[in-house]
Amino acid sequence: MAVSHADGDEKLKKNMGRNMMGATMTGKVALVTGAGISIGRATALAFGSQGASVVVADVNASAGKETVQLIERLGSKALFISCDVSKAEDVKAMIEKTLATFGRLDYACNNAGIHGPTPEALLPELDEVLWKKIIDVNLNGVMLCMKYEVPAMLKQGSGVIVNMASTTGITCEPRAYAYTASKHGVVGLTKVAAVAYAKAGIRVNSVCPGPIETPMTASINEEGLREAMSLIPMGRWGKPEEVAGAVMWLCSDIAGFVTGTAILVDGGLTAI
């Protein structure tokens, strides 16, 4: 029987309502790197609140295990894995343990990242050791995670990867050379992977937070805080949970036609 456009529209509306209001991630497995604090923890908790089993990865064992406890209080399963994403052997072991424990990997949020001092030195005096460290964690770390996440998702024929970039990956942070370069790299790497695996059932996107209330930004002095706040049209910094919301939307079925994009969560910062 032929289905009219009206019938199709009505079916779409019903599916959207179910995905938005009643869908859960029960039976699914999510991995979040850098999940011990702030955005990573908020994202891990968001997955747990939707019924997913969550792998909490971090270099900080005490913070990571605390996140696990919070997820378990929500009634979901969680596993802590110590992982330095800049080390291939750590990342490989993380994915192997995830699969050995839960048997699959449905969602991966590659969130782990670091920031150097701001402002950094002038370019001729740039610290090459610091440059390498930031690139190794922020960019190489995302590459390594995807390198080992993708095969697991290919095997099951589906998966969603969300890489944590930054508004700095779209514009720049003056005199933050390594951080800006690393986040531009994440946005570009995301696009390449999205195109490569679009027909394989794997969606890959990035989220670009603006100023968010995190330990990383807490070190900014009062003058810098006021200056940053004045640049945001919404007049405030974002919350980790608001970034987690963007990750959850990208991982949901309702975002099923979204891949290769960079979602800005910045209070309008880049709109002006």
Which residues are marked as active site?
Answer: 179
What are the CB-based long-range contacts (under 8 Å, 24+) for 182-190? 182/113, 182/134, 182/135, 182/137, 182/138, 182/139, 183/138, 183/208, 185/135, 185/138, 185/139, 186/138, 186/139, 186/142, 187/262, 189/139, 189/142, 189/143, 189/146, 189/163, 190/163, 190/165, 190/260, 190/262
Q: Helix crossing, 240-251 with 38-49: angle to 10°? A: 50
150, 193 contact by CB (below 8 A)? yes
CA distance 95 to 213: 30
Other beta carbons within 10 angstroms of residue 129's beta carbon come to: 7
Secondary structure (3-state) at 208: strand
Cβ pair 149, 105 in contact under 8 A: yes
